[in-house]
């Protein structure tokens, strides 16, 4: 059993959401960037670590989807009240944001109509354009500045208790974060019902994973710019999907396409917790945004075009707010059937189906593993072949096998078993296939 955030971190399960720091007494826990380019929690005062509370909310320990899911589609993609494809009607927001500016367009509506007074989200740190920091945005200028996806560690919850307690009772908040950030905040709000009403909406996005800062550094290197001279940097946006772009002190631009930045550099640096994430679809908040890629020959197309956001309402609250934003002219949307979602978000679907077999590997090794409930992992794992499941268990065991001799033994047994299944498959196919005429 895990007994401290140190155990979560040592088990490689800390994704750096920051809520442990955010709810502990001041200076008891501090998140710091490690030499691996990820955040790690440092317990500065063990006696003050509120572990009994942390263990109920830390997404490295527990994520509990409590909404009852009925259909096969919901068991894979999470609760669905409505789904659309759309964009912000504010041209500048649509252009600068990651996809269609759906999130920023909705935030603009919420702030300008007084439904919320403050938005808690992250953006580029002023001191270093490669790192992220938490901001409280109050107007269009702030939210526009913080729009766009940041494919590097971000800890939006490091001051959450302070933000919620040091506030005017009339303040109303929107929160934007990765699905694991939202899961942590939702679990915290369940314990602290007194903040529920002030937290008007939890907004998230589909998330394939957080790359380490090493990924960003590799990307900067590939752009051919000296990291020391970078003045401004964004991963995408300014078009859809837009290009990863660095600007140096002399105003020179260095760019690389989304496919060549995310697809061939950043996604090689993902955190281990992301490989076993049951909630990359972002099922725990009120609204989930994503890329509404066009489908081309059964795959997503990354051709540059005007931005479009995929929007999924997870409940009636999310649905009503999108409808109001549309009626007030802030968003334009069309209904969108999720029947083809798997074609435009293949990684999300595949990972969800394989998480069960990856977690099985953790269980077999006796290492710590998180409690994920309500994600139908076993049922989803039946959507792929036994061979794929075994390969994923073996692959995960392989990654973990260096930890102990016992693990290595389990890994070897599984490797042999997996090889046998593959060979039997080849033999059966050979004898059972029809001879060619
Ligand atoms: C790490 C990561 C992985 C992603 N994986 C996928 C995917 O697999 N499929 C998919 O369809 N979409 C993915 N996205 C989401 C996609 O890039 C867009 O963010 C999403 O479509 C919303 O676009 P938008 O134009 O509505 O958002 P915008 O209007 O640009 O607003 C983006 C909002 O997200 C917040 N934000 C940005 N980066 C982070 C971060 N690292 N942590 C917390 N908050 C952040 C910003 O503060 C801002 O409020 C990913 C995003 C990130 C950051
Ligand atoms: S609460 Fe967040 S930052 Fe703290 S240990 Fe858990 S995942 Fe890491
Ligand atoms: S993949 Fe999951 S664990 Fe990783 S950053 Fe995204 S939501 Fe968090």
Residue 54: Cβ within 10 Å count: 23
pLDDT in tens, 157-173: 999 999 999 988 899 99
173-187, 357-371, 412-426: which is most confident: 173-187
Q: State the DSSP H helix or E strand holding residue 157, giving kind and residue range, or none if neither.
A: none
Look at residue 305 and tell me whether its pLDDT is greater than 70. yes
* Percent of the chain whose pLDDT exceeds 90: 84
Measure 67 CA to ligand 2 centroid, in angstroms.
Answer: 23
To test the ligand 2 pocket, which listed residue (7, 12, 17) has its Cβ within 8 A of the most ligand atoms?
A: 17
CA distances from 194 to 55, 127, 163, 197 (A): 20, 35, 14, 7
| Rounded percentage of the chain residues whose pLDDT exceeds 70 | 93
Encode pLDDT of 123-169 as tens digits.
999 988 899 999 999 999 999 999 999 999 999 999 999 999 998 88
**Are 13 and 368 contacting, i.e. CB atoms less than 8 angstroms apart?**
yes
Distance between CA atoms of residues 312 and 332, nearest Å: 14
Q: How far is the C-alpha of 383 from the C-alpha of 377, rounded, in Å? A: 10
Distance from the alpha carbon of residue 407 to the mean position of ligand 1, in angstroms:
36
Query: For residue 346, what is the DSSP state?
Result: H
Whole-number average pLDDT of the chain: 93
Whether 177 lines ligand 2, by a CB cut-off of 6 Å, is: no
Given a cut of 70, whether residue 411 has pLDDT beyond it is no
- CB 243 within 8 Å of CB 237: no
Partners of 294 in beta bridges:
301
Task: Using a cut of 0.75, tell me whether the model's pTM lies above it.
Answer: yes
pLDDT tens-digit profile of 351-363?
999 999 999 999 8
CA of 17 to the centre of ligand 3 (A): 10
pLDDT tens for each residue of 384-400? 999 999 999 989 988 88
pLDDT in tens, 44-89: 999 999 999 999 999 999 999 999 998 999 999 999 999 999 999 9
Q: Whose CA is nearest to atom 3 of ligand 3?
A: 274
Ligand 3 site-directed mutation target among 179, 281, 377, most atoms within 8 Å of CB: 179
- Could you give the maximum distance between any two Cα atoms of the chain, in Å? 80
- What pLDDT is attached to residue 297? 80
Confidence class for position 205, pLDDT limits 50, 70, 90? very high
pLDDT at 404 over 60: no
Tokens of residue 149, six digits: 């996806």
- Identify the band that residue 437 occupies on the pLDDT scale cut at 50, 70 and 90: very low
């Amino acid at each position: 059993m895990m007994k401290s955030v140190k155990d979560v971190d040592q088990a490689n399960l800390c994704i750096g959401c920051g809520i442990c720091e955010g709810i502990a007494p001041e200076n008891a826990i501090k998140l710091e960037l490690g030499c691996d380019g990820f955040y790690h929690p440092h317990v500065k005062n063990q006696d003050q670590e509120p572990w009994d509370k942390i263990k109920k909310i830390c997404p490295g320990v527990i994520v509990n989807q409590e909404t009852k899911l009925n259909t096969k589609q919901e068991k894979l993609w999470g609760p669905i009240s409505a789904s659309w494809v759309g964009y912000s009607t504010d041209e500048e927001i649509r252009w600068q944001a990651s996809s269609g500016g759906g999130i920023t367009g909705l935030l603009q509506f919420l702030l300008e109509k007084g439904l919320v007074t403050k938005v808690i989200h992250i953006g580029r740190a002023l001191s270093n354009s490669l790192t992220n920091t938490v901001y409280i945005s109050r107007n269009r200028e702030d939210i526009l500045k913080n729009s766009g996806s940041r494919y590097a560690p971000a800890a939006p919850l490091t001051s959450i208790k302070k933000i919620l307690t040091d506030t005017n009772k009339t303040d109303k908040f929107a929160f934007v974060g990765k699905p694991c950030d939202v899961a942590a905040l939702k679990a915290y709000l369940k314990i602290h019902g007194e903040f529920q009403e002030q937290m008007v909406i939890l907004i998230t996005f589909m998330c394939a994973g957080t790359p380490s800062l090493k990924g960003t550094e590799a990307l900067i290197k590939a752009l051919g710019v000296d990291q020391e001279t970078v003045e401004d940097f964004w991963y995408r946006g300014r078009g859809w999907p837009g290009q990863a772009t660095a600007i140096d002190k002399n105003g020179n631009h260095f760019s690389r396409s989304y496919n060549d930045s995310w697809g061939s550099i950043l996604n090689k640096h993902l955190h281990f917790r992301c490989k076993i994430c049951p909630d990359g679809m972002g099922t725990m908040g009120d609204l989930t945004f994503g890329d509404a890629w066009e489908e081309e020959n059964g795959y997503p197309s990354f051709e540059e075009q005007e931005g479009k956001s995929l929007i999924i309402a997870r409940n009636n609250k999310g649905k009503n707010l999108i409808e109001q934003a549309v009626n007030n002219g802030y968003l334009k949307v069309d209904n969108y059937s999720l029947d083809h979602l798997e074609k435009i978000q293949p990684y999300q679907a595949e990972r969800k189906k394989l998480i069960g077999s990856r977690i099985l590997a953790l269980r077999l090794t006796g290492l710590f593993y998180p409690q994920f409930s309500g994600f139908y992992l076993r049922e989803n794992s039946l959507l792929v072949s036994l061979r794929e499941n075994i390969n994923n268990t073996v692959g995960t065991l392989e990654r973990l096998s260096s930890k102990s001799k016992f693990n290595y033994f389990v890994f070897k047994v599984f490797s042999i078993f997996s090889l046998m299944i593959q060979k039997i498959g080849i033999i059966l196919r050979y004898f059972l296939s029809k001879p060619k005429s």
